[in-house]
Structure 1
Amino acid sequence: MLGDSITEGWDGYRDVLHPLAYWISQRLGIKVDNHGHGGGRIVGNRDNDLMPNINAADLTQYDSCTIAYGINDFDDISVDLDTIITTLNNCLDAIYKQNPNINVYGITPLPAWQNVDNQNTVKGGGFTENELIDAEIDTYLKRGIPVLDWRLNPIITRDNYLTALGDGQIHPSESTYELLGKRIAEWIVNPPTPLQLWQSAKYHMAAHKERQSWWGQWGGRLRFIISDDAENWHQLPAAYPDTQIRDPSMLQIDDEYYIIYTDGLCRTSDFIHFEDMNWTWWNKTHNNLWAPEFFKAANGEIKVIYSANAKDSDLFHMQLFVADFDHETGPVEGTEQQITGDFSSTGLIDPNLTYLNGKYHLFYGTNTAGVQHFIEHMTADNYLGPYTEQPSNFPQVQGTLQAEAPELFVDGSRKLLFTDPYGQDEADGPWQNFGRNGEAYSVINNSDMTNFGELNLLSHIDEQPFMIRHAGFVIQLHADGYVPTWLFELQNAFKINDSLNVNFEQLNQRFSKINQILADNGMQLASFEMLPVDSSIKSLGRKTYLLVQHGLAGLQWNLTELARCLKANRLADIDGEFLVAPTIGIPKGLLLNTYASIINQNWTNTTTVLVKINEIFKADGLID
């Protein structure tokens, strides 16, 4: 383990008896050597810095190593971020030169609490700790190195840092070292990829982050955020493209993710590599184009809504348009049509369009010179209009604040309206000085969406403002007849309930989809059981054990019944082979060292079956 004082085991006053290396060794049953040195930095040539540490260690005798540096580069010296990352890459080159076959694991710095919210504080190097962590993650992922981001499920939080840290600032206490060491051990056995982390979350958004001092007044960079409750969000550890991206909207088609944004379009399948799709035709007819956003029409087609102005008009005369979307080329040139309605403003920006209960609900921001920017809500029977304004109390909720970028979130009966509020002075609280300190949401209190609750600042688990803007929820679309194949792998041994509930719910939908395809083709249906879902389970215990037993037994029945049904319908793959149901393993207990691998093997085997189903359906002409 290569690292600084936290790898060494310093609690702020002394070295603890059992540092991280001890707990990892105990958990995994392997030898772990501690090469942590207090005060060590990525940049520097002292004995405790990263490059001298690498040179002093004989890495040929190891099959793996961890790197946990960075906090001292942030806290102690005024070195710019580019220098830190360049040095980190040089150090990685030196590691692989010593041992080309070594497995490297990156571990990001723990949050520092000297200034309570140190993660968003700019220090002497001109960057925040969050920006340092983002840069480290980007570096590791682009080199194929798994990275542990403590921000996703933090052990040290705003509520406990005074007791969890030995010095109340950065160095863990003895008991916290145990928690950290065990977390690293669990993670290192099967480190999740960005895609797996994305898939394991319930809610997903794309947004952009602003930093005028770095990227200019209108500069922005893409960020993905994930959540299990749509209120507390975490940034996805990903290798974000280093290019101007503002106002993103996101669409998933099968295994591809499309991100459309002001002036551009790109796509990814792994959140590490991004392809620029070169969308440029819009500037032939428009002077400016802002905030394009995907929406699903009543017939299920995906289209793009955006605000734009003519070549001879200014930014305060933006109007709304809709264009068709092709997943191979992007928005289709020549299909753009202007939206009509009884709009109260000459400047319309940041449109969000949702088809709900037989109506198109349009939320947008007004953009009139010298006038407060409001969020307005209109409805129509056709996505092109004409739209009529809907009364609401949102102007009162907004108060004196400016507001942009509305985004309607619908989850069953729960509805939230997300927006970007900002203000001008201290009276505007967290939105003062045009700081645009983060996204906010308002709870919609009635079904016709006329009554909105107060604005709540979107936050991560430590109750700090989530420093992103213009967030948009992901729209999912699957090709006709396609049965989604991915399942959520169990990454954290203590989160078995999340993995089971999410996968059982997803599998119920997939088995229903399979029967729908069979029914559409006049074939015999399978007699599937509904797999149990119990979101009330929060910890390991007998209820979890029963969920495992009953759910996996039901899964075995469904896979066996599926194989029987396909054979009865004479459905086989291109080689004439019928589906064979795998054996589902059912753990005998909830011992951490046994059940996780058994359950993940079940998800792997079941995913293989779902992939096979699509092959069989295609071979027999049931789907395209």
Structure 2
Amino acid sequence: MHKILPVILYQLTACLFIEVVIIAKLVVMGDSITQGWDGHKQVDNPIPNELGKLAGFDKVENLSVGGTTMTGSKGLPSQVRSVNFADYDYALISFGTNDYWQQSESLQDMQNGLQQAINKMREENPKIQILITTPIQGWENNTNSLDQKNTMGVSQSDIDDMILSVARLNNLKVNDWRNNPIVTSDNYKLLLGDQMVHPTQATMDLMANRYFQAFFNGQKVTINQDDQPDNPSEPDHQPVVLEMASVSGNWLGTFNDNFQKIFQALVDYSTDDNRSIEWQKKDFKMLNRGTYVYLVKTFELIKQVVDEFLGSEDIYDDNFDEVNNSGIIVPHTLIVAELIEIANQNFKKLQNIIGSIQQSY
């Protein structure tokens, strides 16, 4: 277990949880492919239905809506708002096709929408198992390569890579269709009902079976009975997600929310009870000298604690490169736009570092 300087921030209270899941339920969020559109008609057995049969789910709720995206009005945000995830054991997310073809979203917009959806699911049900898949390759508008950019400068591979990144950050099970794809350049005219993007019924059945293997190892879902108390001495490994601040928003509030998440994560991974570093949250309405001093000292404190930890422990990133220092920049500016830009860069670095620490724990 890694040792770092403990941060005295909260009094943590242990809770006892006893959970008995009587039946297994799956909720699916997606576009026309999981809705069951084959390019000409709605099929009788969409992918979620077949997956439910294979995995033995007692209930499958399919919220998918054709033509939707990760941030669209009837897409992922709307579908997430329409359901109480406390009622489900598993959730499958399948978007990305329309995000590429509609050419209306930046990659960052997609990522933010996806992460916000995951956050809401876990807020409503911390025990839910979230599954995610990249979209199958499409050939609409004479596109013949996963690397071909749309007018937003985004390729199908860019979307796939973003989904994988979010999955790794949140410790989700993920299926990447680029690995041993079912639909390829050689067979897409046969396997896609419209010869562009929508799979036939037979292809949907093959896709459901692939999900069954990728997400459930080809095994039926079993009743989960956990009557053991949670161990209060161990962190729950829930990914730390830091929000990006904006000039038009409550950026000081965002800063403080992120500071609390960072310090709480450091508390979770502290084992040395002999030393402490104190930090106290302060609320400000505007940027003035007092706010400036508070922000500088807070970033200095975070940099000190994280750098000391990284200097004493072997932590590696997703590329298996050793992380030796945080790279945090302490902002020394009273220009709001510059301050926010520097802070957001720090928050991105810290989110990745904390994720690497959690994986190494």
Aligned partner of 2:63 among 29, 35, 44: 35
Indicate which of 195, 199, 206 corresponds to 1:179: 206
Q: Deviations over 1:128-166 (max 9, x none)?
A: 110111011101111111110011010001110001000
| Distance (Å, rounded) in 2 between the aligned partners of 1:36 and 1:118 | 26
Preserved CA contact (<8 Å) 2:33 2:66: yes
> Which whole-Å CA distance do the structure 1 matches of 2:212 and 2:138 have between them?
22
1:33 deviation in Å?
A: 1.9
How far 1:116 sits from its partner (Å)? 4.5
Q: Does 1:71 align with 2:97?
A: yes
1:147 and 2:174 correspond = yes
Output aligned runs, 1:223-622, within 5 Å. 271=318, 274-277=321-324
Gaps of 5+ in 2: 1-27, 219-313, 326-361
Alpha-carbon displacement from aligned partner over 1:442-472 (angstroms, at most 9, x marks no partner)? xxxxxxxxxxxxxxxxxxxxxxxxxxxxxxx
- Partner of residue 96, structure 1: 122
Is the contact made by 2:174 and 2:215 (CA closer than 8 Å) also made in structure 1?
Answer: no
**RMSD, matched Cα:** 2.0
Paired position in structure 2 for 1:56: 82
Q: Verify the 8 A CA contact 1:9 1:20 in the aligned structure 2.
A: yes
Measure, in 2, the Cα distance between the counterparts of 1:273 and 1:11.
Answer: 41
What is the number of equivalent residue pairs in this alignment?
A: 201
Aligned counterparts of 1:73 and 1:91: Cα–Cα separation in 2 = 16
User: What TM-score results when the alignment is normalised by the length of structure 2?
Assistant: 0.53
Determine the C-alpha separation between the residues in 1 that align with 2:210 and 2:170. 23
Measured after TM superposition, the shift of residue 85 of structure 1 is 0.7
Q: Distance in 1 between matches of 2:134 and 2:126?
A: 23
Q: Which has the higher contact order (CA 8 A, sep 6+)?
A: 2
Question: Residue by residue, what CA displacement relative to the aligned partner does 1:235-256 show, whole Å, maximum 9, x if unpaired?
Answer: xxxxxxxxxxxxxxxxxxxxxx
Is the 1:79–1:124 Cα contact (8 Å) retained in structure 2? no
Instruction: Give the match's secondary structure for 2:61.
Output: coil
**In structure 2, C-alpha distance between the alignment counterparts of 1:272 and 1:36, rounded to whole Å:** 34
**Partner Cα distance (2:40, 2:71) in 1:** 25
Unpaired stretches in structure 1, ≥5 consecutive residues:
192-266, 279-624
Q: Which SS does the other structure have where 2:130 is aligned? A: strand
- Distance, in Å, in 2 between the alignment partners of 1:183 and 1:110 is 12
Which protein has the larger Cα radius of gyration, Structure 1 or Structure 2?
1
| 1:8 pairs with 2:55 | no
% identical aligned pairs: 30
Q: Structure 1 CA distance, aligned partners of 2:127 and 2:146?
A: 34
For 2:76 and 2:185, how far apart are their aligned partners in 1?
A: 30
Corresponding position: 1:112 with 2:138:
yes
Residue by residue over 1:176-217, the C-alpha shift from the partner in whole angstroms, topping out at 9 and shown as x without a partner, is 0010011111111149xxxxxxxxxxxxxxxxxxxxxxxxxx
Q: Write the distance in 1 (CA, Å) between the matches of 2:55 and 2:173.
A: 18
Task: Report the CA distance shift for 1:50/1:124 in structure 2 as closer, same or farther (over 3 A).
Answer: same
After superposition, the Cα gap between the structure-2 partners of 1:165 and 1:80, relative to the gap in structure 1 and judged at 3 Å, is same
Q: C-alpha distance in 1, partners of 2:83/2:123?
A: 13
Q: Output the CA distance in 2 between the equivalents of 1:118 and 1:129.
A: 8
- For residue 275 of structure 1, report the CA deviation from its aligned partner: 2.7
Superposed displacement of residue 272, structure 1 = 6.8
Greater share of helix: 2
1:269 Cα offset (Å): 6.5
Q: In structure 2, the residue corresponding to 1:2 is in which secondary structure?
A: strand
Structure with higher strand content: 1
Return structure 1 stretches of 4+ with deviation > 3 angstroms: 267-274
Tell me how far 1:118 sits from its aligned partner: 3.8
